[in-house]
Amino acid sequence: MEMIMIIVLIMLDQWTKGLAERLIGSGKPVTVIAGFFEISCLANKGAAWSIFSSHNWGLVFLIILSSIVLFALLWFLRKAGDRRAKAVLILLIAGSAGNLIDRLRAGAVTDFLSFTFGSYAFPTFNLADAMITVGTGLLILFSLMDRHFLSIQFGTGYASSSDKEKKKDE
């Protein structure tokens, strides 16, 4: 079931990027909510906020790093114990895979969602970026709520007997 969810999220990410590329391309951004939300189409050759985009080796580095992270996340998904861990991993895997597909296909990631908050223009992003951000946010939240979350769910440690009893009750 997890793999189906991952595939659906990757397809949604790729579909929305394709729409932005076909409907807007390098043309003028489309205003959705004046002064707040626009849809534009940008090719990001780097990582978040275009880090490494000015380096020739940046794309190769990002493809290798993304591939390693993706395989590690897939390994953790096989080991994940509960829905919270699986939800985090599904979002991280789908987002990472969506952006990796772009890098392999076009040499750049398609970003198209632009938000402005007063005088601050948030960096343009895509659904894969949003999945990675939400997955990371959930990982932090679950870790703060349950100090053993990381060690138990991702197999990096062992639960105490009280944690095992608590898990049985859930």
Closest CA to 76 of 142, 150, 18, 167: 150
Report which residue type is found at 130.
A
Q: Please confirm, yes or no, whether 111 is among the known catalytic residues.
A: yes
The helix (run of H) or strand (run of E) holding residue 19 is helix 2-23
**Which of the residues 13, 129, 146, 169 is marked catalytic?**
129
The catalytically annotated residue of 13, 82, 102, 111 is: 111
- Per-position DSSP letters for 104-161, written without gaps between them: HHHSSEEEEEEEEETTEEPPPB-HHHHHHHHHHHHHHHHHHH-TTHHHHHTTSS---H
Q: Tell me which residues are annotated as active site.
A: 111, 129
